[in-house]
Structure 1
């Protein structure tokens, strides 16, 4: 096998696409320090990894530790029963019923974005929309998630420290030294001494990149504590204090804190785990959604016929239901839904995830692969400790499932029955035969939230352009 870090191309995506074309739906990659990784998008293998045998495939220790140290003890930092207990408390706040309650808040935020872009359009020939979409995504999760405003969405408004830290954390962590430290040192040293001792060591080390990340994490934590304490205080005071919060006390954190108070002792989450959800949910909701929205805008700009059809659908809906579509009328627009689904299919915001085998495991395959001696393998033995990369990107684009046009952007495919090959494959995704939001106990808990945000932003943007 070739080495994934010496790909000889300008695009990692093109390199991995080429490997998939040559070797099929499961292959081995030689990585750094002679480590071997498996890479798969085989539908049957994915069923076992994320559903049937998910207890055998956990997230790597270094990722869980890093998430815990960065965001707190939230969904991205927990496993097993601990993770399930958190999801049990969180699930109701991401229900369709609660999405209906939050829709007016979405409208309020998106309206501010629309007003600022309208003003900007009067003076600017070109507008970089991605920063605006990121600001909008942060404000939506701020208001509907925490009853908190991070951004007025006005032209020239100062950037909130929390938003700045969230936006720049991923890039900061891609520093070569920090990457090596994360994978090699963090799993070893994270239990050395007390937290106070570890902090003193971080402060002492003359390492600028590490100090930048430290400062970002400090901002995330202090803001999360502030949001949580304000929520608790408003609920404690009740009455006007609760209803005068942004969103009228229907934000995710308010509902979550109330539900947690009523939960049984064994299900109740400690305060630090509720605090940990603030940065966790913001990180999951901000860049991924804004990137998906920018993808849609780019695709619509290069497919004028699709954009015209979408605008017509939105215009007709406004004529029938008024300018502000409620949750039911917004989610009932078939072409808008098809555009969102197709974009999430072709451009999964998180293209690859890693799991580690917790014990020796047999991984069955829907599509047999060739062994080095030419035999067809219908299953592979994966030794304990092996890392495996699972690919929503390639599963969503697999021609064996989606047909020969799998790599083309065609929203119309969602307006007719999907291929039998796809339906029969039983792809274990939580959403529309897609692996975009994963599946099983670690599926994206906020996928309905993301869908609503994407649709509301598109509905507003397209109606503004009409």
Structure 2
């Protein structure tokens, strides 16, 4: 015991010295990245990350996109050298060809969602994705159409009821889009209803999902702890008792934001466990009808359980990973889709001619179909609806960038020579191990070199009749969707992008054929889109997510 007491201070001193060196070395040691042009640091703790993560960061994004080359270097947190990359060839190497050399940062995701698809690496990630890929097939998307139609019909009735009850045409459409996206992922994803889509229905799970991202921003110093949390996370995974202690620590830490974050995670985890146990009990039931509801279920959770049962033993996912997928799918598919839908509705108000043309296309398809319910092939085949979705996701991707970190020294080739600080040019870059790479989704989607001089204008017609510039096809942009980086690409491309596309089209087809949307008087200049993990709208100086629009029923 005495030996332990005498050694402990030296061990602590060594740990502090190691931590100091980890932080200080970025300011002391030179790097081959220093020759790449980019903005200067404004803070030794945040570097330029505060400029990039600020709610009004759009001008800084444009600065990165337009005032340097297609690879930009700037200091990140604690001076860590960071590259903003949107050169197509470089992107191909980062997310496709050499993706094993560039890992995403998953520590925070491990803490929040568990070992789901967004929080695993390497062979572990590939094993999960192998099982989950069939879940998002076109065949399963077709089977979800009746489920989606039921949800959007409830949305229509809910909005109409609010309009009648309030005697006002002003509606917070962001709230309705968020609730609808959650119900669509609930019904289509898990066979579970989160929201009846009637006005003023309390829902703890929906509140937890909505509060998650804003609550992270209020963690203060605890956000920096995530930078060094990997060993703790791995230990908690290996020893559940230690994980319980870690959880208890965040419950008792004297910080309101940390305690609120823990409560949110508890709600998400407890609800996901309950859904999983309900499905598992149904599969184990002696009642044939109960068991058949899962075996023949249309929702993705039922499909995932069936795929897991039929997979080879080595490929099957344990319960903890299946439960983690529920939380992962909820986060990946709720705010991204709902905020993209809100952005489209806002744009349709700003461009009423586009709204009328889109409405005419949907109504004509309904007339030809002889029914208000469009089948899968008719809906996805509507060219103008597709163009509106593509153009919005191009110009206004919900997520502006994603992180990668070089796991080894690599060489990054470029499609366009890069001018360096010393006046020389290069078509390759040496990337040291540990370099932080930001995949510039925003810059790639808006590049005037690829998309033309009007790249920063919202023009759905650019997607019609083969009007895309040849430079777009020639660039071989490695995105999984429409030459865009919105859903990334490679082995970590958004697995649910077809699900998201179907959600958006089902909701929009119903909304534009049932309501006319316009800006509320005096609020055009007040609506602000905030840069965040997922871009969201608010009114004026408020940070509360909201998008009030005037909504007029078309039929009474």
TM-score, structure 2 as length reference: 0.80
Sort the Cα spacing of 1:254 and 1:381 in 2 relative to 1 into closer, same or farther, 3 A: same
Equivalent of residue 441 in structure 1, options 484, 491, 494: 491
Q: Is the 8 A contact 1:235 1:254 kept in 2?
A: no
For the residue of structure 1 that corresponds to 2:428, the secondary structure is: strand
Separation of aligned partners in 1, 2:126 and 2:50: 39
Separation of aligned partners in 2, 1:312 and 1:125: 22
Separation of aligned partners in 2, 1:39 and 1:363: 13
Q: Given the alignment of the two structures, is residue 27 of structure 1 paired with residue 72 of structure 2, yes or no? A: yes
Separation of aligned partners in 2, 1:121 and 1:16: 39
Equivalent of residue 272 in structure 2, options 200, 224, 237: 224
Equivalent of residue 439 in structure 2, options 376, 379, 390: 390
For the residue of structure 2 that corresponds to 1:39, the secondary structure is: strand
Separation of aligned partners in 1, 2:305 and 2:49: 45
Equivalent of residue 144 in structure 1, options 184, 188, 195: 188
Gap regions ≥5 residues in structure 1? none
Q: Given the alignment of the two structures, is residue 208 of structure 1 paired with residue 256 of structure 2, yes or no? A: yes
Q: Is the 8 A contact 1:313 1:333 kept in 2?
A: yes
Equivalent of residue 199 in structure 2, options 141, 155, 161: 155
Note the C-alpha offset of 1:187.
Answer: 3.0
The number of residue pairs the alignment matches comes to 460
Equivalent of residue 482 in structure 2, options 422, 425, 432: 432
User: Which residue number corresponds to residue 57 of structure 2?
Assistant: 12
Greater CA deviation, 16-25 or 101-110? 16-25
Sort the Cα spacing of 1:111 and 1:170 in 2 relative to 1 into closer, same or farther, 3 A: same
Q: Given the alignment of the two structures, is residue 464 of structure 1 paired with residue 514 of structure 2, yes or no? A: yes
Q: Given the alignment of the two structures, is residue 349 of structure 1 paired with residue 398 of structure 2, yes or no? A: yes
- Larger radius of gyration between Structure 1 and Structure 2: 2
User: Which residue number corresponds to residue 164 of structure 1?
Assistant: 207
Q: Is the 8 A contact 2:111 2:233 kept in 1?
A: no
Sort the Cα spacing of 1:189 and 1:242 in 2 relative to 1 into closer, same or farther, 3 A: closer
Separation of aligned partners in 2, 1:6 and 1:85: 36
Sort the Cα spacing of 1:213 and 1:195 in 2 relative to 1 into closer, same or farther, 3 A: same
TM-score, structure 1 as length reference: 0.95
Which digits, 9 at most, give the CA deviation of each residue in 1:354-383, with x for residues without a partner? 100011111111122111110111111110
Greater CA deviation, 171-180 or 394-403? 171-180
Separation of aligned partners in 2, 1:389 and 1:462: 37
Note the C-alpha offset of 1:310.
Answer: 0.7
Separation of aligned partners in 2, 1:456 and 1:86: 29
Aligned residues: CA RMSD: 1.8
User: Which residue number corresponds to residue 423 of structure 1?
Assistant: 473
Sort the Cα spacing of 1:6 and 1:403 in 2 relative to 1 into closer, same or farther, 3 A: same
Q: Is the 8 A contact 1:192 1:198 kept in 2?
A: no
Q: Given the alignment of the two structures, is residue 287 of structure 1 paired with residue 331 of structure 2, yes or no? A: no
Sort the Cα spacing of 1:74 and 1:312 in 2 relative to 1 into closer, same or farther, 3 A: same
